[in-house]
Amino acid sequence: MEKQLFGGVAGGDSTAQPVVPNRNKPRTLATSGSKQDSVETLDSPTGSHVEWCKQLIAATISCQISSVPADTASGDCKPPRDGTKQVQTDEVPLVPGETIKAVAKDVMYICPFTGLVTGTLTSTNYKLYFISLERDTPFILDVNLGAISRLETISVQSHGENTRGMEIVCKDMRSPRFAYKEDASQPEIVEVLAKHAFPLSNDLPLFAFLYKEEFPVDGWKVYDPMAEYKRQGLPNESWTISKMNSSYEVCDTYPALVVIPTSIKDDHLKGVVAFRARHRIPVLSWIHPESQATIVRSSQPLVGPSDRRCKEDERYLQTIMDANAQSHKLTIFDARQSSVADNNKAKDGGYESESFYPNVELNFLEIPNIHVMRESLRKLKEVVYPSIDEAHWHSAVDQTHWLEYIRLLLAGAVRIADKLESGKTSVMVHCSDGWDRTAQLTSLAMLMLDSHYRTLRGFQVLLEKEWISFGHKFAARVGHGDENHANSERSPLFIQFIDCVWQMNRQFPAAFEFNELFLITILDHLYSCLFGTFLYDSEQERIAKEVQTKTVSLWSYINSQPEDFTNPFYVDYEHQVLYPLASVRHLELWTGYYVRWNPRMRPQMPVHQNLKELLFLRAELQRKVDELEREASSSRGSLSSSSEHTSSPSHSGGTPLHTIV
Amino acid sequence: MIETFGIKLICSKNSCLSPVVCLVVSVSCRLCLVVSCRLCLSPVCLLSSVCLLLSVCLLSSVCLLSSVSVPSTGEVVFCSASTVLKYTQDDLSQRGVFGVLLCTNFRVSFVSDEAPTEEMGQLFKNKLYGENDIPLSCVDNIYGGSEDKRKLITGGLVKNKYPSKMIIHCKDLRVFQFSLSFSKEEDAKKIFQGIVHHCLEPKSLRCLFAFSYCENTSYPEAQRKKQTVMFDSVEDWTQDMKRTKGNCRVVSENSNFELSPKLPQYFIVPKNVSDEDLTKYQGKGLPMWCWSHHSGCALFKTASIPLVQEDNVPQTYMEKMLTAVAHNHLYSVKTEDLSDTLPTVQDILLSYNRFKQFFLIDNTTEFWMSDMKWFSSLDNCGWLDIIRQCLQKAVEVVESLEKENTNVLIMEEGGSDLCCVVSSLVQLMLDPYYRTLLGFQSLVQKEWVAGGHAFLDRSNHLHLKDKVESQSPVFLLFLECVWQLQQQHGPAFQFSETYLTVLSDSIHVPVFTTFLFNNDGHRDSLLRAESPHTQRSPLNCPTVWDWSVQFDCKAQDLFTNPLYTEKPKQDTSVRKSYRPRHLRQLSLPSSAFKTPPKKGFFKDEADNLKKILGVKRLSRWMLSPSSDSPQTSSSVREFYEAWQTKPLDYHGLLLPCLDGPSIRVWMQRYLRWIHDVQILGGGPVAMLSKVSEILGEVQELQRQLDRHGCTLTSNHKGARPRAKTAAAVIAARSSVRLSSSFPFVTSRNWSFKPAIPTSLLQSLMVTGMAGNLADREDDGGPESLV
């Protein structure tokens, strides 16, 4: 039985329908459940849209209401909800640790799709919850406070005097607007919202530290650096797992464990540390199991306008090159635009000179910086929310350049992967600091090269390793709990990366074990502050704040119900390298994420639905066959037909979908 | 290895009476008959049968020896040149393969000198033409090139000159580049002139390959007749009307084209249309029945009569017809003049010509250059918008039928272009039967072939100068719309994307009677005239639906969609749940309805329903609703949204989403030949192969169960054996080795290099756009560099 967990989005609904039909239901969903006929609310996904909801709504925990018929509700999983709760009340569903902070009645939601709706607005310390019972079916809008970028008052004079308007500008591509009457007896709802939406600016803890849910799986155990390096075949004779940064003294933004060349002496290392920006020395990210070619990441060298040299750094790179016997070259990919790299050089940064580093080839990938990306996403929001210009859709998307940057990233990562795979050459990647574009490129290249990262667990490891442990500044880039929305440190670099993964997923629909919902869930909880996974800028900070003991990991939730996030089409491509096509012709705007608030863009029933039914049918048949098999063998002993059964497709039942039913 | 047999014959055509050399060439397992008249270079049609007889005698021994697939019978080689270099498409390196270039009465063909690599690519082999063959009518444009320049060849002016390089753009979007500079000068000149002559010059219909092909091939008629409803008999029409519970009159008076050769052989008109009404205005203004909705209302189409102000007669006639459509005021009628609201056939052609240029790519550099402007170019050419407009119009008509239960009469000048597009789309959306493979083929027969779409003029296979104006890819536009529907609601369609792509290619294969004529009368007169047995049956030619002419059974498996869900056999209790939905939409007191005793998708209407509906008088007389188009579009929007909130029934009404991102480019059709955009190991085929595999397993398990004599008790019978799939063909294990262009192109070898954009990375543009942003430090703070 499917879980009925919804939250974090506009629209809930009372008539949730199981995704995988249970045995009492006809196959065609359309003919089942006359209940749905009564559902008219356009802004809320209903009936057979549920699968879509699941695809779209990343959430779960935050809330949920579903009047699941008693016979279909089962308790095999641990839904954090009260299954008997009736939607017809305007009770706010709460997650453990969540408390209501303010309630405002007779608030109008100015829905850009279906017009005005009047209802009750509740602010908790985790979410904003709006429910209206004036339509046939309850209308629910649910926004995680963590997703709020800024709160603005707007003019709503048309709705009468004493009416105030508020616009909630969100990081997740929507901006719901409300109008409400002033009420002197109560604290202004906007202020309560602001206080809890930006806890760090108001000396409050992030909600992740208050969240008290317990999951059967501990997500903090997903990433064990030692185990991951061991999987890659490390340490080996050329590479060693070093504890030199175990107290984060060498580099405060690097993890405690890093992989460096074995032959490097400590005093030698000091020179390299001093020569690399923020002490982010070249360390190994991935090693090719056959050719021993490696992906190495670092920050820019501090060359400066006077072309400083560093003998230790030059020797260090030579050692990296020598660790790979297949090639006598090392390729450096500088993610920046060459003009920007030159500017950096004038300001004491720079790039490796091919004349000082023998056998080194330097390439610029010409990827613009975080500010350009932020601007691009801002423009994209204007294109997709609230309404879409039909006739000029493609040119409007074109003008945001968003897909072009996606293309640049993919093309860069393909070049890196190809260098390793066909050129058998080791590659070093850096940008300025080595925590933004570098993380994007190395993780994408690793995703192309190593099929392990294309599994549900493997992808979690990839994120934990390349992004979280290597110090992508999540707190600064997302601005968790911080009211300073204009901070120029904010930038959607991680979203861009997930978008690239989605594009790959689309080009290779069978190569990834996880599905679109998984990616959307990750992005929703990037903002939600419900889990500790994406909080803070570095491993050091996370240790200091005791994130692992005081918060829950996103992977705890995901891995407790992996079937929801599994791609039913998954086929293990084994050691196949995947080269996505970095052509705009094969890129598409991720409407399932960026345009998901528009009810017209919701698919009614995705293709997956059909396949899931098929998988269900297969499981059912398999069970039947096994049963008969057992009966037959117990009554008659060994059968001549048993050989046929061993060759039957039972072995391929590896997909966890079976467990749903 | 070329063997020649010389036979001297006299060229009797063009009265040049010169000796003709008839050569039988066997070029690497291909057997052709080369007939060329030294002087006049003309097709020697009259001789072909004589030659054939001779050649059969000569060749029979050779055939037996090499067990080769003889190219289509009736094929005659006009000219050939050896050591022609065919460039590999994907790079600028000027590399290629040498071979022989031939021009026959069917195709331009390149036969490589290298031994053909027989690989899995053979799986989806077209029996009529191979990957290096271009049927003559598939040639779109020919360019002559020298050095860097290229020039469009328009025919006529090519005497004595020939370019060193010949580029052929095909209508199925393949691009061929040949170098003639290594061939003998005389051969090169001859082949160039021959190809230009046969591909671009006007010719008569009987020169099309179909006629020589059909004379020499016999088709068991029964084989096709049992499947697709051809709508070439009274029974077919009567049955379709019965199926939809229509209540109109079948006209069979034109079965020998006595009424008018322009009118279809058989058609259906409203009951009240009298005999003399039929022939007034040459069938213009005559409402032709298309389809009946289960509520009793129906869709009609007509060719509009040009209304002259002073002349009242057509006006009166039109009103009379409308009354007939209204079934004596039982129904209200909406009329829709498509000429006013949809693009003209010329607009469609212009837009498509711009659109197709994005895919006719000569080399990698050009490709990556155009990649930068891709999205803006898409909007500018307007092709996707035309698709959207057609779908939108169809949704409007569906709304009138389904929600308002009015009769709809669509009209346009001619009545056989956009009327066909809209009426067939409406039927696809409303009637699940047409979403099956055979149903779809029947729909095309009904609306397009019998409906008199001028296929010949629209495709201009004959390159007639006076028909250039009437050329337009209207049928392709329809297929594009179907593809959009199919993309959005995959499991509702029994046929696959590949099927639609192949169908769109077949338009340009001049073998099938389906696409060769302008209307029934035209077809009948020509086939009769061409018949070898003058007094008896007309020439028996295959239709495009005889897929075995082009593909073997295994390849045809790829035409079916493995995800298609067959309509579950419902018991009555389930079917009742359909009812309330439709009734509720009639905006009538529900007490007026009693459940009719008969069950079915098309139910008999109760008499009282008719009476109540009759109260609604004709609402929109001769008024084009285009005047209130903003309202229309918002009403369509509401209609869509209301439909969207209901649970989706793949066997009920289907509506397309028309918002910007939902109308897409038909990647398989347009990108399949471009090497740089093939996703190796990816594309939809990766998904389909997984589905096929699971289906195969399900079927295997079911067989096992059957062996145990046990039937499945659950409700999943609906999913039981669906159409046989290509499971064996594309097992998931091999999907890693297929590309997004499957099944049209199969990767030759798996050691591939990724396509890396070669275009200048747009650093210039970015700085231009983002101004100072690009130059800023990632971390604005002063401490950004230690």
| Mean pLDDT over each residue of chain B, to the nearest integer | 74
Which residue in A42, A489, A624 has the most chain B C-beta atoms within 10 A of its own C-beta, making it the best mutation to test that interface?
A624
Is B767 at the interface with chain A, CB within 8 A?
A: yes
Q: Which residues of A touch B684 (CB under 8 A)?
A: 509
Cβ-contact A290, A320 below 8 angstroms: no
Q: Which residues of B touch A388 (CB under 8 A)?
A: 659-661
Question: From the list B378, B687, B695, which residue is nearest A569 (CB)?
Answer: B687
- Chain B residue with Cα closest to A38: B646
Q: Which residues of A touch B652 (CB under 8 A)?
A: 30
Cβ-contact A424, A291 below 8 angstroms: yes
Give per-residue pLDDT as tens, B125-139. 888 888 889 999 999
In the beta sheet, which residues pair with residue A428? A296, A332
Q: How far apart are CA A193 and CA A101, in angstroms?
A: 9
Q: How far apart are CA A589 and CA A243, in angstroms?
A: 43
Question: From the list B580, B705, B785, which residue is nearest A347 (CB)?
Answer: B785
Give per-residue pLDDT as tens, B486-522. 999 888 999 999 999 999 999 999 888 889 888 888 8
Q: Which residues of B touch A403 (CB under 8 A)?
A: 375
Q: Which residues of A touch B697 (CB under 8 A)?
A: 618, 648-649, 652
Confidence (pLDDT) at A37? 33
Which amino acid is present at B163? Answer: P
* Structural tokens at position B498: 């590949």
The shares of helix, strand and coil residues in chain B, as percent rounded to the nearest 5, are 45, 15, 40
Q: Do A579 and B680 touch (CB under 8 A)?
A: yes
**Smallest Cα distance from A96 to chain B, Å:** 33
Q: How many angstroms separate the Cα of B149 from the Cα of each of A228, A562, B364?
A: 57, 59, 17
Q: Which residues of B touch A652 (CB under 8 A)?
A: 693, 697
B770 pLDDT higher than 80? no
Q: Which residues of A touch B784 (CB under 8 A)?
A: 432
Q: How far apart are CA A524 and CA A516, in angstroms?
A: 12
- Restricting to A residues 550-569, those with a Cβ less than 8 Å away from any Cβ of B are 569
Largest Cα–Cα distance in chain A? 88
A257 pLDDT higher than 90? yes
B123 pLDDT higher than 80? no
A522 is in an annotated binding site: no
The H-assigned helical ranges of B140-267 are 185-200, 209-215, 221-225, 234-243
Q: Do A618 and B705 touch (CB under 8 A)?
A: no
Bond into A606 cis (ω within 30): no
Choose the weakest-confidence range: A16-25, A134-143, A330-339, A551-560: A16-25
Q: Do A624 and B710 touch (CB under 8 A)?
A: yes
Which residue in B662, B697, B740, B758 has the most chain A C-beta atoms within 10 A of its own C-beta, making it the best mutation to test that interface?
B697
A437 is in an annotated binding site: yes
Is A496 at the interface with chain B, CB within 8 A?
A: no
Give per-residue pLDDT as tens, B573-603. 433 333 333 333 333 333 333 333 333 333 3
Q: How far apart are CA B202 and CA B212, in angstroms?
A: 18
The band of A203, judged by pLDDT with boundaries at 50, 70 and 90, is: very high
B747 pLDDT higher than 90? no
A658 pLDDT higher than 90? no
> Is-catalytic flag, A431?
yes
Largest Cα–Cα distance in chain B? 98
Question: From the list A48, A488, A624, which residue is nearest B712 (CB)?
Answer: A624
Q: Do B778 and A369 touch (CB under 8 A)?
A: yes
Is A252 at the interface with chain B, CB within 8 A?
A: no
Q: Do B756 and A411 touch (CB under 8 A)?
A: yes
Average pLDDT over residues B66-83: 68
Question: From the list A279, A343, A645, which residue is nearest B775 (CB)?
Answer: A343
Average pLDDT over residues B384-406: 93
A436 is in an annotated binding site: yes
**Smallest Cα distance from B646 to chain A, Å:** 6
**Beta strand pairing status for A163-170 and A148-154?**
antiparallel
- Chain B residue with Cα closest to A396: B376
Confidence (pLDDT) at B112? 87
**Smallest Cα distance from B755 to chain A, Å:** 7
Question: From the list A348, A586, A618, which residue is nearest B698 (CB)?
Answer: A618
- Please give the domain boundaries of chain B with CATH numbers for all domains: 2-68 (no CATH), 77-201 (2.30.29.30), 223-665 (no CATH), 671-753 (no CATH)
Nearest alpha-carbon partner for A588 in A513, A509, A511, A510:
A509
The band of B733, judged by pLDDT with boundaries at 50, 70 and 90, is: very low
- Restricting to A residues 284-343, those with a Cβ less than 8 Å away from any Cβ of B are 302, 337-340, 343
Average pLDDT over residues A28-41: 33
Average pLDDT over residues B372-391: 91
Is B785 at the interface with chain A, CB within 8 A?
A: yes
Is B764 at the interface with chain A, CB within 8 A?
A: no
Phi/psi at B197 (5° precision) = -60, -50
Q: How far apart are CA B633 and CA B341, in angstroms?
A: 12
A433 is in an annotated binding site: yes
- Restricting to B residues 661-720, those with a Cβ less than 8 Å away from any Cβ of A are 661-662, 665, 667, 671, 676-684, 686-687, 689-691, 693-698, 700-702, 704-705, 707-708, 710, 712, 714-716, 718-719
The H-assigned helical ranges of B160-263 are 185-200, 209-215, 221-225, 234-243
Which residue in A17, A28, A383, A602 has the most chain B C-beta atoms within 10 A of its own C-beta, making it the best mutation to test that interface?
A28
Nearest alpha-carbon partner for A281 in A305, A247, A251, A310:
A251
Considering only residues A252 and B56, tell me which one the structure prediction assigns the higher pLDDT.
A252
Is A651 at the interface with chain B, CB within 8 A?
A: no
Task: Give long-range contacts, CB 8 A cutoff, 24+ apart: A185-191.
Answer: A186/A102, A186/A104, A187/A102, A189/A102, A189/A104, A189/A107, A189/A121, A189/A123, A190/A151, A190/A153, A190/A164, A190/A166
Q: Which residues of B touch A605 (CB under 8 A)?
A: 491, 648
Is B277 at the interface with chain A, CB within 8 A?
A: no
Q: Do A603 and B645 touch (CB under 8 A)?
A: no
Considering only residues A577 and A86, tell me which one the structure prediction assigns the higher pLDDT.
A577
Tell me A91's DSSP state: P
Q: How far apart are CA B758 and CA B93, in angstroms?
A: 14
Confidence (pLDDT) at B356? 93
Catalytic, out of A111, A251, A431, A500: A431
DSSP run (H or E) holding B488:
helix B474-488
Cβ-contact A332, A430 below 8 angstroms: yes
Bond into B743 cis (ω within 30): yes
State the first-to-last Cα distance of chain B, in angstroms, to the nearest integer: 75
Average pLDDT over residues A16-41: 32
Confidence (pLDDT) at A560? 95
Cβ-contact B698, A621 below 8 angstroms: yes
Confidence (pLDDT) at A2? 36
Is B654 at the interface with chain A, CB within 8 A?
A: no
Would you list the DSSP string of B411-454? Answer: EESSSSSHHHHHHHHHHHHH-GGGGSHHHHHHHIIIIIITTT--
Is A603 at the interface with chain B, CB within 8 A?
A: yes
Choose the weakest-confidence range: B140-144, B313-317, B400-404, B753-757: B753-757
Average pLDDT over residues A308-332: 93
B700 pLDDT higher than 70? yes
**Cβ contacts from A onto B, under 8 A:** 326
- Chain B residue with Cα closest to A398: B375
**Beta strand pairing status for A294-297 and A426-430?**
parallel
The band of B636, judged by pLDDT with boundaries at 50, 70 and 90, is: confident
Place of tokens 């749903």: A660
Q: Which residues of B touch A624 (CB under 8 A)?
A: 701, 705, 710, 712
Confidence (pLDDT) at B317? 84
A290 pLDDT higher than 80? yes
Give per-residue pLDDT as tens, B146-194. 767 788 888 666 566 788 889 999 999 999 999 998 999 889 988 998 9
Q: Do B376 and A398 touch (CB under 8 A)?
A: yes
| Mean pLDDT over each residue of chain A, to the nearest integer | 82
Is B19 at the interface with chain A, CB within 8 A?
A: no
Cβ-contact A573, A450 below 8 angstroms: no
Considering only residues B290 and B122, tell me which one the structure prediction assigns the higher pLDDT.
B290
DSSP run (H or E) holding A240:
strand A239-242
